[in-house]
Amino acid sequence: MVVKPILDSRSMNKPERRPRISREQQKALRFEELTNAAWTLFCEKGYESLTIDEVAEYAGYSRMPIYSLFGDKQNLFFHVWKKISLELMDILLKGCKEGATLNENLRQLAENLLQDQANKDSHGASIFYVVQSIGISRPDIQEKLRDLAEIHLQGIKAMISYSVLEPGQTLRSDPEIIALNLIAMINGSSTVEFQTRRHFQDADYLHTLYKAMALN
């Protein structure tokens, strides 16, 4: 004879308790969800045509949290772009080491870029296109975009500066100039990827281009 366990109906119907989170955690969660929603929609619709109401609806919020956290659409866009800029620098410079040769770190940079492009959906490339379009069409926003571009410039410049040159090697130019050229190529490849849905496939080729920009 099999004895079936007696189930307490109260325990069966009792909803699972969700862990409580603090106000700061709630705010951080809203910030993350809203910036992710805005990123997707900016890429799909562009800057000018997107409305705050569309971002709120997509994220499942009312308009008030957006105004409370960001103030207006322009500041929302800058927060999205800053978030992406910081994440991109972390990705591109992953594995680049102080004390490694510049040749090794440039190789790592090339491999990181290809890996990032392979893992991204179409939004990853299109955000660069959106930023460039805004920079051209909205002079009032250009200055803030330049400030955010410093994140990339300083990150790549630092990598060049802390890398070691091999015997007989010299830098082709000042680290800042080299960094600007590398960033121009990275941004350009992202724009081409958005327009053609194609990207670099060969890390060796990309590495060769980077070396030609940086080293004599």
Name the burial class of residue 76, with classes exposed (0-12), middle (13-18) and buried (19+) by CB atoms within 10 angstroms of its CB. buried
Task: Write down all domains in the chain, each with its CATH number in brackets.
Answer: 77-214 (1.10.357)
Instruction: Write the single-letter amino acid at 25.
Output: Q
Tell me the per-residue pLDDT of 121-146, one tens digit each, with 9 for 90 and over: 545 556 666 776 666 667 777 777 77
Distances (CA, A) of 169 to 59, 73, 198, 209: 52, 48, 33, 16
Q: Which of 35-49, 69-83, 84-98, 134-148 has the lowest mean pLDDT?
A: 134-148
Q: How far is it, in rounded angstroms, from Cα 141 to Cα 151?
A: 17
Cβ atoms 171, 178 nearer than 8 A: yes
Q: Which of 65-74, 104-113, 115-124, 143-152 has the lowest mean pLDDT?
A: 115-124
Distances (CA, A) of 7 to 15, 17, 76: 16, 20, 51
